[in-house]
Amino acid sequence: MDLLQQFTEHIRTLDAWEPDEPVIVAVSGGVDSVVLLDLMGRLPEDVKPNIIIAHVNHHLRGISDDEESAVRKLAERYTVPVYVHHWRKEDHPDSGIEKAARDIRYSFFKEIAQRMGSRAVLTAHHKDDQVETILMKLVRGSALEELKGISAKRSEGTVTIVRPLLPFTKKNLISYAEQRQLRWAEDESNASVKFTRNRYRQTILPLLRSENPAVDDHLIRFTEDLDSLLSLSAPCVEEWKKDILSFDNDALYIMVPALKQADEALQRRVLSSGIKQWSSKQSYTLGHKHIQMIIDWLKASSPNTTLDLPGGLTAERMYDRCMIRKKESDSRYEIESENEIEKKLAVGQWIELEDGSSMGLLTYESFRSRESSQNERHLYLGIPLQSTPLTIRHRHNGDRMTVRGMTGTKKVKDIFIDQKIPRKDRERAWVVTDSTGRILWVVDLKESALSLDPRTDTISYVLVYERM
Ligand SMILES: Nc1ncnc2c1ncn2[C@@H]1O[C@H](COP(=O)(O)OP(=O)(O)OP(=O)(O)O)[C@@H](O)[C@H]1O
């Protein structure tokens, strides 16, 4: 059976879309996604969807623009629509480039899917990616639950991320591309052993394969077996969790004697699952390493001690109970009390604020077409794609923000002082934060380096503020 036949069979079993339904294919211009696009275009009519290409030009490497035009040419060749997002690293000074680039990719793919009424986003991850991921996680010491590979289908809200090339090796894809005389761009970063994944790809896995050529299949089988064991034992973990853990908005509580009755591997699973559940509501994260730290500390510590954890969290032990929560902020130098009004703002929404002013978050297109955006009572700010939903609130003690032309962050309090804003007005000022809590704007006063300028930047959304 040739690759197209195997792919078609696999697509039928995946059952991720109906014929003629719109699906998004993420095409970087590399061989994997070029092959995926070609295979999708050759599917028989009874499984063939309406293909829409999504591409992100990261402006990171010399060839980024060539990749974009190659992807546009592919769209012409297959007569399918293409959507391109431009992303610049200067807009993301705080985050690691690789992670920020990946986050923006997925949020763009999902946004296009929602806009086009598509349920599926396809990426070209293949079997070699799968094996590298598993091995890297094993070596890094990830928690058992994280030792999963890349999933063939993963739901994220209304969209499912589908990886239809997982059964196929890179070799399979390259020989298909050569047979079909496809053209693709080489990713320069693949050649560098600087990146961890490339060391696994170029040195570690070839060595393991020379020891046993079936090592790839063995690693994949290992995660499949582990997955099934984890699902089988999940009800038991849930039972233990009921005795050991509880949480509310403020804290996660651990009953120490109950925890100590479980063996240590079970302690890790219970805590890891409980913390994940609690932190998904609080947007804190504690990794495997810190879970082990808590277990070791509870084993050794006397009844009244505390342990500092990352993300401003602290664990306090009071006899039989341990409480994990956000550290109290140091308010010695702040006089005014905090005002707790907090509102979320999603794209397309307008909200009225208590002081009679209002804010709306518009797409760039609708901002441009709104005549009243020229109104002098309006102030506006460009918002990067991945920042939403925004939060509107008054200032908090200890607030800090990035400021253009300055490295690090500056205290919002100092910005008020620099601009000689009277105390009573400081309490009334509105602060806008992005989805991760970073300040984008102290309204009418200071824009953070994370915001964009609608006149010059390629922007996704515009936040409009209308004074009372
Ligand atoms: N710039 C891009 N534009 C469109 N699609 C992309 C882009 N980069 C990657 N993709 C899609 O994602 C797939 C995986 O790419 P890559 O291995 O570089 O991503 P990654 O950073 O490892 O992502 P992940 O964390 O999801 O594995 C590609 O085959 C392609 O389908």
Does residue 129 sit in the same domain as residue 259?
no
**CA trace torsion 114, 365, 70, 72 (10° rounding):** 70
Q: Is residue 84 part of a domain?
A: yes
Whether residues 136 and 121 fall in one domain = yes
CATH number of 315's domain: 3.30.465.60
316, 318, 312: which is closest to 286 by C-alpha?
312
Segment among 161-170, 239-248, 455-464 with least mean pLDDT = 455-464
Tens-digit pLDDT profile for residues 201-238: 999 999 999 999 999 999 999 999 999 999 999 999 99
Residue 32 Cα to ligand 1 middle (Å): 9
Specify the number of domains making up the chain: 3
In the predicted structure, residue 375 carries a pLDDT above the cut 60: no
pLDDT of 245 strictly over 70: yes
Say yes or no: CB of residue 56 within 6 Å of ligand 1.
yes
pTM of the model: 0.66
Judge if the beta carbon of residue 37 lies within 6 A of ligand 1.
no
| Conformation bin of residue 355: beta by default, left when phi > 0, alpha when psi is -120 to 50 | alpha
Nearest CA to ligand 1 atom 6: 28
Q: Note whether residue 332 is domain-resident.
A: no
Q: Is 60 exceeded by the pLDDT of residue 194? A: no
Which of 5-19, 61-75, 343-357 has the weakest average pLDDT? 343-357
Mark whether 377 and 397 lie in a shared domain. Answer: yes
Q: Check whether residue 207 and residue 225 sit in a common domain.
A: no
Residue 259 Cβ contacting ligand 1 at under 6 Å: no
| 225 annotated as a binding-site residue | no
User: Which tokens in the block code for residue 81?
Assistant: 């629509």
pLDDT at residue 92, rounded to an integer? 61
In a domain, 107, yes or no: yes
Q: Which two tokens stand for residue 398?
A: 């200890």
pLDDT digits (tens, 9 = 90+) for 43-98: 999 999 999 999 999 887 678 888 899 999 999 999 999 999 998 876 665 556 77
**Which atom belonging to ligand 1 lies closest to the Cα atom of 129?**
17
Residue 205 and residue 230 in one domain: no
Do 260 and 163 share a structural domain?
A: no
Note whether 285 and 434 are same-domain residues. no
Residue 369 lies in a domain: yes
71 lines ligand 1 (CB under 6 A): no
Q: What is the mean pLDDT of the chain?
A: 86
Pocket-testing residue among 125, 132, 146, 197, ligand 1, by greatest number of atoms within 8 A of Cβ: 125
Out of 211, 245, 263, a domain closes at 211
124 touches ligand 1 (CB under 6 Å): yes
Domain that holds residue 257: 218-327
Ligand 1 centre to CA of 30 (Å) is 9
**From the alpha carbon of 58, which atom of ligand 1 is closest?**
1
In this structure, are 279 and 222 located in the same domain?
yes
Establish whether residue 121 lines the binding site of ligand 1, counting it when its CB lies within 6 angstroms of any ligand atom.
no
Task: Mark whether 50 and 180 lie in a shared domain.
Answer: yes
Question: How does pLDDT run across 268-288, given as a tens digit for each residue?
Answer: 999 998 988 887 766 667 778
ipTM attached to this prediction: 0.95
Query: Could you say which of 179, 211, 243 is where a domain stops?
Result: 211
What integer pLDDT is reported at residue 331 of this predicted model? Answer: 37
More confident residue, 445 or 91: 445
What pLDDT score was predicted for residue 336? 37
Closest atom of ligand 1 to 25 CA is 31
335 assigned to some structural domain: no
Residues 171 and 67 grouped into a single domain: yes
How far are the Cα atoms of 125, 341, 454 from residue 338, in angstroms, in the given order?
Answer: 48, 9, 32
Lowest mean pLDDT of 138-147, 307-316, 426-435, 459-468, name the range: 459-468
Is 32 within any annotated ligand binding site?
Answer: yes
Least confidently predicted of 38-42, 181-185, 345-349: 345-349
Centre of ligand 1 from the C-alpha of residue 97, in Å: 14
Distance CA 261, CA 446 (A): 54
184/242 Cα distance (integer angstroms): 53
Q: For residue 37, is it within any domain?
A: yes
437 a known binding residue?
Answer: no
The residue whose CB lies within 8 Å of the most ligand 1 atoms, and thus the one to mutate among 23, 28, 165, is: 28
Q: Is 34 in the pocket of ligand 1 (CB under 6 A)?
A: no
Distance CA(11)–CA(47), nearest Å, equals 8
On the question of pLDDT at 103 being above 50, the answer is: yes
Last residue of a domain, which of 268, 298, 327? 327
Q: What is the pLDDT of residues 292-306, one digit of tens each?
A: 989 999 988 777 788
pLDDT at res. 39:
98
Do 204 and 303 sit in the same domain of this protein? Answer: no
Whether ligand 1 lies within 6 angstroms of the CB of 290 is answered as: no
Q: Are strands 22-26 and 50-57 parallel, antiparallel or unpaired?
A: parallel
Residue 27 CB less than 6 A away from ligand 1: yes
Q: How confident is the model at residue 465 (pLDDT cuts 50, 70, 90)?
A: confident
181 domain residue, yes or no: yes
Whether the CB of 163 sits within 6 Å of ligand 1: no
Res 333: pLDDT? 31
226 and 305 both lie in a single domain: yes
What is the rounded CA–CA span in Å between residue 395 and residue 393?
Answer: 7
**Is the residue at 146 inside a domain?**
yes
pLDDT score of 354? 76
332 — pLDDT class (breaks 50, 70, 90): very low
Q: Which residues pair with 466 in a beta bridge?
A: 358, 378
CATH number at residue 193: 3.40.50.620
> Taking 80 as the threshold, does the pLDDT of residue 178 lie above it?
yes
From 25, 33, 67, 89, the mutation candidate for ligand 1 (largest count of ligand atoms within 8 A of CB) is 33
33, 170 in Cβ contact below 8 A?
Answer: no
Q: Does 330 score more than 60 pLDDT? A: no
CATH label of the domain that carries residue 407: 3.50.40.10
Q: Is 29 annotated as a binding residue?
A: yes
Question: Distance between CA 89 and CA 83 in Å, rounded?
Answer: 20
